[in-house]
Amino acid sequence: MQFIKTLFWVILAIILVVFAVNNWSPTSVLIWEDIRIDTKLPVLVIGAFLLGFLPIWLIHRASKWRLNRRIKTLEAAARPAPAPTATASAASPTPPAPAPQAKPAAAPLDLGKDKIVEPAPAVSSITDDKAAGT
């Protein structure tokens, strides 16, 4: 990728030099009614290009710098806190906490026929007064 960038800039520089050599003629530019500038045409063209290009390029670089700073700040906030060093724990008078014990594995469920309970009836034993006939 670096080779392509370098090749692009070299070709652009060659085109610019060829343009400047072929158009090296004096040009008169009228700024206001009483201000006239005599300059060479390539200087005028390159100056006009830079006058339009540089402000936009500077805005682009500033926004890129600002966004990179924001990304680094967010990445630093998302990064977990570093563990305390051994020298810091040796200096403290309290002993380190014991490592958490692993939970024992649960025993598998025994679903033999003698463990299965008969389902409860869907109808409750409480009856309505009308249904009992009283």
**Is residue 59 included in any domain, yes or no?**
yes
**Is residue 129 included in any domain, yes or no?**
no
**Is residue 100 included in any domain, yes or no?**
no
Percent helix, percent strand, percent coil in the chain, to nearest 5: 55, 5, 40
Six-digit token pair at 47? Answer: 């100056």
Q: What integer is the mean pLDDT of 28-38?
A: 89
Q: How many domains does the chain have?
A: 1
Question: Would the pLDDT of 79 be above 90?
Answer: no
* SS3 at position 25: coil
Return mean pLDDT, the chain. Answer: 81
**Is residue 132 included in any domain, yes or no?**
no
pLDDT score of 55:
95
Q: Which one is predicted more confidently, 93 or 61?
A: 61
**Is residue 30 included in any domain, yes or no?**
yes
**Is residue 33 included in any domain, yes or no?**
yes
**Beta-carbon contacts of residue 37 (< 8 Å; ≥ 6 apart):** 28, 29, 31
Percentage of the chain lying above the pLDDT 90 cut: 46
